[in-house]
């Protein structure tokens, strides 16, 4: 594969209308192409002293490409996550697996749903639920079969990143454009969304009082995102990128409901409690990798660093205050080495590390002096053929007591079958 062809494939890997090598055409004509792609994956996981079969990040996607006037290509993409394995285990240990809070009990939930229009000169426009431009940088370490994606800021607030716009952004409008040069490719992405979700505030102000924000007074407001990446033809390939995302947190009301909870039943003290904790939820990321791509022949190594404000959420009950958002800094890495006939053997590993960087939040912790999530991974993958892979993945967890409710050691074996 020449460098120019490889660069083109990498540049389009997260575009709105990519025909994956494993995509299956359902219908083709001179006017439209309808295709399907996705995969099924599941694994046996031993964690927290229990062994169970758990859902992987199984999904199914349908896409429609419609050639339009003057080199414009239009269409849509619809993708659903599939929870096909019943399990008594409730822990969610994979960033890319996470659904929005209201979808976690659904067997079928929406991952993406957007329309697009793209042109060689004017770039690509997309509208709807889609990968945010922030992910143009952070995807480079999000290749683990079981875990990962916990420290880059992509899946903030314990969700799929839809509300914040950093992961699978909700109700977003985005523009992406790439320029190819002799020595590489430069790409930018710009994104905006507004009023994507209500924010339900129901917290203990003190051990004896509880504050409830009335409906429609607290919300995630206007958001913006931008990313810029450069892929250089150096050796097997070098990538560097930066991204920034900001969403307005409107947490204010003059009609707050304040309850006395010192007795057996809550008693309303006032329905005109005024408060203002409005702020910004922002996240920034810097990422670099060397190699062709994850699990490609030879070495691939990637690292992402991030800093964020109000983009992480502490476990329930771990802090006293109006909210349990906190400022954080973190890093992720992913490395793989692939060899053998048809590049079927891969060893891989890396880490996710996220710590609070917020004195106000840390002062309000019920126990402990900071939030620290730290996991270190080692895995092996065997690609049986183009569509079937088997894997073993192990995590050593050194998180502190504040983060323990969402992290632990685990050992998993599983499989994945691509459509």
pLDDT computed for residue 97 by the predictor: 58
For the record, the structure tokens of 300 come out as 């691939």
Domain covering 3-418 in this structure, CATH number: 2.40.160.10
- For residues 194 and 190, give the distance between their C-alpha atoms in angstroms, rounded to a whole number: 14
Give the chain's length: 419
What global pTM score does this model have?
A: 0.85
CB 114 within 8 A of CB 149: no
Per-residue pLDDT of 312-354, as tens digits, reads 988 888 887 656 789 999 999 999 999 998 899 999 999 999 9
Q: Kindly list the domain boundaries of the chain, sorted by start residue.
A: 3-418
Per-residue pLDDT of 43-64, as tens digits, reads 999 887 788 888 888 999 999 9
Residues of the chain with pLDDT under 70: 1-21, 86-106, 321-323
Per-residue pLDDT of 181-205, as tens digits, reads 988 999 999 999 987 788 778 878 8
Q: Are strands 24-28 and 33-47 parallel, antiparallel or unpaired?
A: antiparallel
- Could you please report the per-residue DSSP string of 283-346? EEEEEEEESSSTTSSEEEEEEEEEEEEEEEEPPTTSB-SS--EEEEEEEEEEEEEEESGGG-EE
How many CB atoms sit inside 10 A of residue 417's CB?
14
């Amino acid at each position: 594969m020449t460098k120019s062809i490889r660069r083109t494939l990498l540049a389009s890997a997260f575009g709105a209308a990519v025909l994956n090598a494993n995509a299956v055409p359902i219908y083709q004509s001179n006017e439209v192409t309808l295709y399907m792609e996705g995969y099924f994956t599941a694994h046996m996981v031993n964690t927290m002293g229990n062994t169970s079969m758990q859902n992987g990040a199984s999904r199914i996607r349908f896409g429609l490409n419609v050639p339009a006037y003057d080199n414009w290509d239009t269409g849509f993409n619809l993708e659903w996550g599939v929870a096909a394995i019943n399990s008594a285990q409730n822990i969610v240990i994979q960033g890319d697996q996470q659904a929005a809070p209201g979808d976690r009990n659904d067997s079928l939930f929406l991952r993406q749903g957007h329309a697009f229009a793209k042109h060689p000169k004017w770039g690509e426009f997309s509208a709807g639920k889609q990968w945010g431009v922030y992910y143009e940088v952070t995807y480079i370490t999000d290749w683990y079969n079981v875990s990962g994606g916990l420290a880059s800021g992509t899946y903030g607030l314990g969700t799929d990143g839809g509300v914040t716009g950093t992961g699978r952004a909700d109700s977003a409008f985005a523009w992406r454009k790439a320029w190819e040069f002799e020595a590489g490719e430069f790409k930018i992405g710009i994104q905006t969304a507004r009023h994507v979700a209500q924010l339900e505030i129901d917290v203990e102000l003190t051990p004896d009082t509880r504050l409830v924000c009335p409906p429609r007074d607290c919300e995630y407001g206007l958001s913006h995102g931008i990313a810029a990446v450069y892929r250089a033809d150096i050796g097997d390939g070098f990538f560097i990128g930066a991204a920034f995302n900001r969403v307005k947190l409107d947490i204010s009301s003059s009609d707050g409901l304040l309850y006395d909870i010192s007795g057996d039943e809550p008693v309303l003290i006032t329905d005109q409690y005024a408060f203002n904790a409005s702020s910004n939820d922002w996240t920034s990321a810097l990422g670099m990798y060397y190699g062709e791509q994850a699990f490609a022949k030879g070495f691939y190594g990637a690292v992402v660093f991030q800093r964020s404000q109000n983009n992480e959420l502490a476990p329930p009950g771990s802090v006293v205050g109006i909210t349990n958002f906190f400022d954080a800094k973190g890093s992720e890495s992913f490395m793989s080495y692939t060899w053998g006939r048809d590049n079927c053997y891969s060893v891989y590993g890396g880490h996710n590390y996220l710590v609070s960087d917020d004195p106000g939040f840390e002062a309000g912790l019920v126990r402990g002096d900071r939030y620290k999530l730290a996991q270190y991974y080692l895995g092996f993958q065997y690609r049986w053929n183009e569509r079937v892979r088997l894997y073993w993945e192990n995590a050593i967890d050194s998180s502190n007591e504040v983060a323990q409710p969402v992290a632990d050691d685990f050992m998993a074996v599983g499989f994945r079958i691509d459509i």
